[in-house]
Amino acid sequence: MAVQFSEEKLNKVKEIIARYPEGKQKSALIPVLHLAQESFGGWLSADTMDYVATLLSIEPIEVYEVATFYSMFNLQPVGKYLFEVCQTGPCMLRGSDDIIHYIKEKLGIKIGETTADGLFTLKTVECLGACGYAPMMQLGKFYKEHLTKEKVDQIIAECRAQANN
Amino acid sequence: MGRKLLLDKAHIEGIRYYDVYRKNGGYAAAEKALKSMSPDQVTEEVKKSGMRGRGGAGFPTGLKWSFLAKPEGVPRYLVCNADESEPGTFKDRYLMEFLPHLLIEGLLISSFALGANTTYIYIRGEYAWIPDILEEAIAEAHKNGWLGKNIQGSGFDLNIYVQRGAGAYICGEETALIESLEGKRGTPRIKPPFPAVKGLYQCPTVVNNVETLAAIVPIINIGGDEYAKIGIGKSAGTKLISACGNLNKPGVYEIEMNISVEEFIYSDEYCGGIPNGKRLKACIPGGSSVPIVPANLLLTTAKGEKRMMTYESLNDGGFATGTMMGSGGFIVLDEDQCVVRHTLSLARFYHHESCGQCSPCREGTGWMEKVLKNIEHGKGKMSDIDLLWDIQRKIEGNTICPLGDAAAWPVAAAIRHFRDEFEWHVLHPDEAQRRNFGLAHYADPLPVAAAV
């Protein structure tokens, strides 16, 4: 098999499965897909999904059904840094359109595209539940809130610096 | 200063951690419930409190608990709905991030009342850092004997697990949430059977919102009768309001449900008014799915009285003039905002989030978005406004779950209250002209002193 969790991650999978009653290990599917996405380059390939199906003793189609339904699962490769900018009403009222436009200009990419160096992917997303701290975006595990053009510059610079280290 | 029951200790440094929480009165309610009350007595207190579910529907919590089926030999589950995906709503995040032990204590008392030995917190996937906070607090609660076997010698066992979703608004609907928790697509189930009879793994299940479960703690601490005295009439207790949009001080506020909408928007204690002295144009007071209302109807009831921040007052007159408390997601639009553009953004949201199970929702939300996009971009016809009205009517009430209604109501309310703005867009397709409305929906600027 092309993909394989580390021993540590396999133990984590076992721990997740143990949260549910016996025979209900399919409940672990979404948490294990999150773990797989984090572990295998930020997206879910067919091989990865098949591997998850094997781990949970379910059919591959059951994994595909779920992976294609939820917007947080990437089915194509993405950049090292995924900018997910909220564009829903409350963020729009606080200028998210301008922020999206600025990021597009700054990175030279359109929504859904990845920079040539493979560092950045820009996505627009629907409400992230940070409406009081708008405009905002999700970057990895964390939220970047009260965005301004200056703050966007700083985030991009930090990502570049981190990537170079 | 309004009374605070949930956020009263939120300012205390380190309140996230067990020792600080315990030192400041934490787990006293759980101690009281487990050591001196029966499960039925806990439910009775919740019933007496008159608290209505804080997730949006506003159904009395004690009554909901009493519907739980209790067949012998079948496990029961409590599921905490922490999916919080309604645009404008971000209050539960605040509770989980800053007061995780308050939620765990509420879950413990509620699970004891319901006879549930396993409880899941289903949290929206994007709140990716919060499960770590919750799991750390759960570990602390285990270590100090508030979770696990024979909790504090009471004979009651409880385990709490955190489950992350993966980005689907529909999973805030309780049956879709259960499907997702079972590792499937989050598509709503047809009811009946209701989750109270056949929920998670086909077992009796109660699904309650984060704020609802956290509020169980003060209810047990002060007693149901005392809790019921706070607020007005059937709007008992305090409510978290997440305020956003064009406000000087957006954020999460705990209010006693006895203040006016005007006071909430303009007083310094709460939102501090509209930035740059602009006029209030409109507001969605209960999360994006509740009807938008123009300023004059928002601030004043059909009887000409001040509209209050209560379930009843906000719903005064039904959808024609009033709106709803909903989840408490309070979205404010100032005079520069375009209602058509805002409605389009919400239509796009509902189209994106439709699970696709029912045709009226799957097709209708996309159709509404398309027509709205045409109107917003200067390609609309006058007949499109009636077409939009027609589409939303065909969605409302014709879907398995309330997402269809949630998608239809914003469009209906926008047309009902702001039809002239839609017509202006059609008649003035030029972008610059379309932004210069000059239409009369505004409240005059209200000085803070006059508003309070």
Q: Note the ipTM here.
A: 0.96
| Domain harbouring B143, CATH code | 3.40.50.11540
Residues B220 and B277 placed together within one structural domain of the fold: no
Nearest C-alpha neighbor of B423 from the set B410, B438, B409: B438
CB contact under 8 A, A93 and B246: yes
Q: Six-digit token pair at A124?
A: 């627009």
Residue B185 Cα distances to A21, A153, B128, B191, B203, angstroms: 20, 38, 20, 17, 19
Q: Return the pLDDT at B114.
A: 97
For the stretch A101-111, pLDDT in tens is 999 999 999 99
User: For A81-163, which CATH superfamily applies?
Assistant: Glutaredoxin (3.40.30.10)
Q: State residue B6 phi and psi, 5-degree precision.
A: -100, -40
- Chain B 81-100, residues with CB within 8 Å of chain A CB atoms: 84-90, 93
State which of B209, B228, B247 marks the end of a domain. B228
Rounded Cα distance, B186 and A69, in Å: 8
Residues B364 and B322 placed together within one structural domain of the fold: no
Q: What is the mean pLDDT of residues A15-35?
A: 97
Residue B425 near residue B380 (C-beta atoms within 8 A): yes
Alpha carbon of residue B246 to chain centroid: 20
Residues B289 and B371 placed together within one structural domain of the fold: no
Q: What is the mean pLDDT of residues A71-75?
A: 97
Residue A95, chain B, CB below 8 Å: the answer is: no
d(CA A133, nearest CA chain B) in Å: 7
Rounded Cα distance, B408 and B416, in Å: 12
Residues B59 and B143 placed together within one structural domain of the fold: yes
Residue located via tokens 């396999």 = A10
pLDDT in tens, chain B (452 residues): 688 999 999 999 999 999 999 999 999 999 999 999 999 999 999 999 999 998 878 899 999 999 999 999 999 999 999 999 999 999 999 999 999 999 999 999 999 999 999 999 999 999 999 999 999 999 999 999 999 999 999 999 999 999 999 999 999 999 999 999 999 999 999 999 999 999 999 999 999 999 999 999 999 999 999 999 998 888 889 999 999 999 999 999 999 999 999 999 999 999 999 999 999 999 999 999 999 999 988 998 878 889 999 988 888 866 666 778 889 999 999 998 999 999 999 999 999 999 999 999 999 999 999 999 999 988 999 999 999 999 999 999 999 999 999 999 999 999 999 999 999 899 888 775 666 665 666 677 665 544 44
CA A144-B276-B428 angle, 5° bins = 90
Residue A142, chain B, CB below 8 Å: the answer is: yes
Test mutation, A126, A133, A137, A138, chain B, max B CBs within 10 A: A126
- Chain B 235-264, residues with CB within 8 Å of chain A CB atoms: 242-246, 250-252
Residue located via tokens 């805030």 = B172
Domain housing B244 = 231-334
CB contact under 8 A, B183 and A29: yes
Q: Return the pLDDT at B436.
A: 62
Q: Which residues of B touch A58 (CB under 8 A)?
A: 183
- H or E segment to which residue B21 belongs: helix B18-23
The CB-side HSE value for A107 (13 A sphere, CA atoms) comes to 33
Q: Return the pLDDT at B446.
A: 61
Q: Six-digit token pair at A44?
A: 């879910």
Residues B289 and B240 placed together within one structural domain of the fold: yes
A74, pLDDT greater than 50: yes
Q: Six-digit token pair at B42?
A: 């806990």
Non-local CB neighbours of B210 within 8 Å, separated by 6+ positions: B54, B80, B81, B82, B84, B92, B95, B96, B103
- For chain B, how many structural domains are there in total? 3
d(CA A11, nearest CA chain B) in Å: 17
Nearest to A132 among B125, B250, B341 (CB): B250
Nearest to B166 among A70, A88, A127 (CB): A70
Rounded Cα distance, B180 and B166, in Å: 9
Residue A92, chain B, CB below 8 Å: the answer is: yes
Q: Which residues of B touch A138 (CB under 8 A)?
A: 126, 128
Nearest C-alpha neighbor of B184 from the set A14, A12, A67: A67
Residue B333, chain A, CB below 8 Å: the answer is: yes
User: What is the second-level CATH architecture of the domain A7-69?
Assistant: Orthogonal Bundle (1.10)
Examine residue B299 and state whether it is found in any structural domain, yes or no: yes
CB contact under 8 A, B250 and A92: no
Residues B96 and B176 placed together within one structural domain of the fold: yes
Rounded Cα distance, A42 and B202, in Å: 34
Q: State residue B370 phi and psi, 5-degree precision.
A: -65, -45
CB contact under 8 A, B163 and A94: no
Residue B61, chain A, CB below 8 Å: the answer is: no
What chain B residue is nearest to A130 in terms of C-alpha separation?
A: B90
Alpha carbon of residue B330 to chain centroid: 10
Residue B192, preceding peptide bond in cis (omega within 30° of 0): yes
Residue B191, chain A, CB below 8 Å: the answer is: no
Examine residue B3 and state whether it is found in any structural domain, yes or no: no
What chain B residue is nearest to A24 in terms of C-alpha separation?
A: B182
Residue B368, chain A, CB below 8 Å: the answer is: no
Rounded Cα distance, B132 and B263, in Å: 37
CB contact under 8 A, A90 and B125: no
Q: Give the three-class secondary structure for A82.
A: strand
Non-local CB neighbours of B332 within 8 Å, separated by 6+ positions: B243, B244, B245, B246, B247, B265, B271, B274, B280, B282, B283
Residues B316 and B364 placed together within one structural domain of the fold: no
Examine residue B33 and state whether it is found in any structural domain, yes or no: yes
Q: Return the pLDDT at B428.
A: 87
Q: Which residues of B touch A70 (CB under 8 A)?
A: 125, 165-168, 186
Q: Six-digit token pair at B237?
A: 């207790």
pTM surpassing 0.90?
A: yes
Q: Return the pLDDT at B58.
A: 84
d(CA B346, nearest CA chain A) in Å: 6
Residue B368 Cα distances to A69, B361, B418, angstroms: 22, 10, 16
Rounded Cα distance, B228 and B43, in Å: 14
Q: Counting one residue from A and one from B, how many pairs have CB atoms under 8 Å apart? A: 146
Residues B144 and B245 placed together within one structural domain of the fold: no
Residue A133 near residue A146 (C-beta atoms within 8 A): yes
Rounded Cα distance, A42 and B51, in Å: 43
Pairing of β B238-245 and β B235-236: unpaired
Residues B51 and B157 placed together within one structural domain of the fold: yes
What chain B residue is nearest to A53 in terms of C-alpha separation?
A: B183
The pLDDT-based confidence of A2 (bands split at 50, 70, 90) is: confident
Residues B116 and B167 placed together within one structural domain of the fold: yes
Nearest C-alpha neighbor of B335 from the set B277, B377, B409, B270: B277
Question: Within chain A, where are the H helices?
Answer: 7-17, 29-39, 46-56, 60-69, 89-93, 96-107, 149-164
d(CA B184, nearest CA chain A) in Å: 6
E strands along B182-260, which residues?
205-209, 231-232, 235-236, 238-245, 251-256
Alpha carbon of residue B150 to chain centroid: 34
| Domain harbouring B346, CATH code | 1.20.1440.230
For the stretch A37-68, pLDDT in tens is 999 999 999 999 999 999 999 999 999 999 99
Report chain A's mean pLDDT, rounded to a whole number.
Answer: 96
Residue located via tokens 């975006």 = A137
Residues B58 and B124 placed together within one structural domain of the fold: yes
What chain A residue is nearest to B340 in terms of C-alpha separation?
A: A89
What chain A residue is nearest to B184 in terms of C-alpha separation?
A: A66
Residue B96 near residue B7 (C-beta atoms within 8 A): no
Rounded Cα distance, B18 and B101, in Å: 7
Examine residue B448 and state whether it is found in any structural domain, yes or no: no
Q: Where are the domains of chain A?
A: 7-69, 81-163
Test mutation, A22, A26, A69, A145, chain B, max B CBs within 10 A: A69
Alpha carbon of residue A23 to chain centroid: 29
Examine residue B248 and state whether it is found in any structural domain, yes or no: yes
Q: Which residues of B touch A132 (CB under 8 A)?
A: 90, 242-244, 250-252
| Domain harbouring B318, CATH code | 3.10.20.600
